[in-house]
Amino acid sequence: MFCALVVGNAVVNIGSSSPSPGARLSGGLSHSGRVQSISRHAEMDALKYLRNHDVRKARLVVVRMLEGGQKFGESRPCIHCIQRIKRHHANISCVTFFEHGEWITETPSVCLLSSRLSSAERGERGER
């Protein structure tokens, strides 16, 4: 899975999913009250750009490629990514993703209403 951070009409960063550990998520069982996510999510990887750059307004485009890049797969961000975007990245105005055979653009608040755990967190295996 890949995620482009778009400012104006320019892609300023591209994040990718990885099986390496990702962001720490609240509500875990560790002594710090946080648990390491199962994998690095493309959305969080793309948003690293904002640590060193002052951006007033941006958007995300999330893409999952299947069959060797021949077609798109479902790419709605997981609930944890959308929650983090809402909480820590108010400058993200919308998220575009592929779902049910079409591209959809929603605000993070609307996207959150239908988001769920990632496939890895649900114990599913999928192409990345």
Q: Which comes out higher in pLDDT, residue 40 or 110?
A: 110
Q: What is the pLDDT of residue 28?
A: 44
Q: Which comes out higher in pLDDT, residue 71 or 38?
A: 71
- 39's tokens: 């994998």
pTM: 0.81
Lowest-pLDDT range, 9-13, 23-27, 55-59, 86-90?
23-27
pLDDT of 94 strictly over 90? yes
- 68's tokens: 């060797």
CA geometry: angle 111, 85, 112, nearest 5 deg? 20
**pLDDT tier, 19 (very low <50, low <70, confident <90, very high otherwise):** confident
**pLDDT tier, 74 (very low <50, low <70, confident <90, very high otherwise):** very high
Q: How far apart are CA 87 and CA 13, in angstroms?
A: 20
Domains and CATH numbers, the chain: 7-114 (3.40.140)
Q: Which comes out higher in pLDDT, residue 88 or 119?
A: 88
- 113's tokens: 């209403």
* 107 residue type, one letter: T
Q: Which comes out higher in pLDDT, residue 33 or 81?
A: 81
Q: What is the pLDDT of residue 69?
A: 87
- Terminal C-alpha separation, the chain: 5
In a 3-state reduction of DSSP, which class is residue 110? helix
H helix and E strand count, the chain: 3, 8
Of 17, 45, 47, 43, the residue nearest 97 (C-alpha): 43
Q: How far apart are CA 65 and CA 26, in angstroms?
A: 29
